[in-house]
Amino acid sequence: MISTSEIGIDLGTANILVYSKNKGIALNEPSVVAIDTDTRKVLAVGTEAKEMIGKTPGKIVAIRPLKDGVIADYDITTELLRHVMRQASKKLGFAIRKPNVVVCTPSGSTSVERRAIHDAVRNAGAKKVHLIEEPVAAAIGAGLPVDEPVANVIVDIGGGSTEVAIISFGGVVACHSVRIGGDRLDDDIIQYVRKEYNVLIGERTAELVKMEIGYALIDHEEMKMDIRGRDLVTGLPKTISLTSYEIRDAMKESLLHILEAIRATLEDSPAELSGDIVDRGVILTGGGSLLNGMQDWLSQEIVVPVHLASSPLESVAIGTGKALKFIDKLQTAVR
């Protein structure tokens, strides 16, 4: 029996992942909680709650307590973390009484936001909480030598935000964070369909469209997809056909903001590290990096090699777990 275990938590806007040294990714649940608005009672968490989005009676709402990678609803986030830690203890085959937890925070987060994350994890049953900056965790998870004095450029496109950082010798040398990620791209698609077709579609449909026929800003063979939504004029269900070029243009502005953040970070690079960046290139992680054509588009635009991490969705979680080895070097102080 292990008295205290160590786990890493990727507290993402879209998904929460738990990593343990022995089991790898022990849990991967959507960051969604269904609550009864009358009693504030939590009815479902994770996958079960995500299934309810847009399909529940008025008094039951499925909400995401994390917005742009930081806590928007403290109490609900604590409940979500409690559930996640309970599930993890079942999966890991022993009771995690009081685990030591490494949890990631967006590099652009304020000390108040970091304190909220720290306290929420603590209140959910952790013994010790270490915070680590998200890009550093993503770089460790992608297998980069973050503790060596060479430039590692990481672009982490998550659900709520995109973090771009140059990491060298265990710390962030330059970084830019924009609160644009996969959720914003879904929203762009919803707004486009509403404006062009007068049809309202839900978040899950938009996400499906993005995954199936969403493209970064490159030329490609046109793809089509039929989707259903509600006609805003008649109020009746309606089927429309969308093309990949339409969706690409709908997401264009948000994608250019991401590119701007990457360029701004590279411009902030110290001259000594620029050579490393040209040789080693940029590593993409996060769910947003899986958008069709993303890798090709970015390498065209920034003219340095762009590589996709081996498991982009899990890089941050794996990084938080592995960071336990050299947490003293990487510790983000909670002020």
Binding residues for ATP: 13-15, 159-161, 207-210, 287-290
CA 64, CA 258: separation in Å to the nearest integer? 23
CA 283, CA 181: separation in Å to the nearest integer? 16
Q: Is residue 31 a contact partner of residue 53, using CB atoms and an 8 Å limit?
A: no
CA 135, CA 141: separation in Å to the nearest integer? 10
Annotated binding-site members: 13-15, 159-161, 207-210, 287-290
Closest by CA position to 235, among listed 198, 263, 203, 209:
198
